[in-house]
Amino acid sequence: MNQLESLKKFTKVVADTGDINAIIQYHPQDATTNPSLILKAAKLSVYRSLFKDALIYARKISGDKITKLSHASDKLAINIGIEILKYIPGRVSTEIDARLSFNKEQCIEKAKNLVALYQKHDIDTSRILIKLAATWEGIKAAEELKKEGIQSNLTLLFSFAQARVCAEANIYLISPFVGRIYDWYKKTLPLNHLYDIEKDPGVKSVKNIFNYYKQHRYQTIIMGASFRNKEQILALAGCDCLTIAPILLSELSNSNQPIEQKLFHPSTYLPQPTSLTESEFRWEHNKDTMAVEKLSEGIRQFTKDQEQLEAILAQEL
């Protein structure tokens, strides 16, 4: 049995890609997408018909060019999500425009629009996760959406404060970014010793969140994301979910080395603390320089990729 199949015994494996061929090859339970992955997918020939369909849809929308581009972008993301759902038994995560990350009401409106598009194609909400940046506004938007039966995946999560507020809001799922945390520490605070997976700051962050959630019996699902190497993945065997890019899925599937479960539920539990207020959250999050820099950088990068996608759509719209 290869490492990928062994990992599936301990953890739900999710494909971090919009590439249908990779999804068919590795048989994940769920799949996640984001503006960067949608941009890559839009350039694949296999999605050309979905791209054209998004343009046809947008041309029928009344409004200016910006409005039409927004609708074309949403429709393309939905088209790709629907195609992915044909090949997985679980959920697909579809991300809202990162430019809305600090506006709760606009996040809610965009999420409802995306869900409505899925529903027009007879896709039940039980198969959809709306991805939102884990800002205070994004978390509170997800809390409101949950009341209407729309579940969310809170992404770009770097600080313990983000993870704690998500749990306190009873968010369905969070995506702590292992690799991007590792990147920051590697660049900003170079270590003078050989790489030790047990000291990897991204791995340690997810382990800390996992232990806290399980000790306090929070129901929010933890899905480690953004991996830089296979060792980071294997060090988190036992985490609720791990979303993995095709290149690392390939490495796992091509290795037969034995793996062990690394994360376990506790034998004793603690009472849940009083929920953080907005000001307490902002203070705790902003004490973490890495988290502040990586969250803002992530929002900027997703925005850049969204704008590149819109530029491609605009050429043909």
C-alpha 309/C-alpha 18 separation (Å) is 14
**Is 131 a catalytic site residue?**
yes
- Cα 123-314-15 angle, rounded to 5 deg: 40
- What does the alpha-carbon distance between residue 6 and residue 235 come to, in Å, rounded to a whole number? 13
Rounded CA separation 200/240 (Å)? 19
Question: Looking at 104, 131, 262, 294, which residue is catalytic?
Answer: 131
Residue 60 burial (C-beta neighbours within 10 Å; 0-12, 13-18, 19+) = exposed
Q: For the packed helices 289-316 and 65-85, what is the interaxial angle rounded to 10 degrees?
A: 100
What is residue 215's three-state secondary structure?
helix
Q: Is 144 exposed, middle or buried (0-12, 13-18, 19+ CB in 10 A)?
A: middle
Active site residues: 131
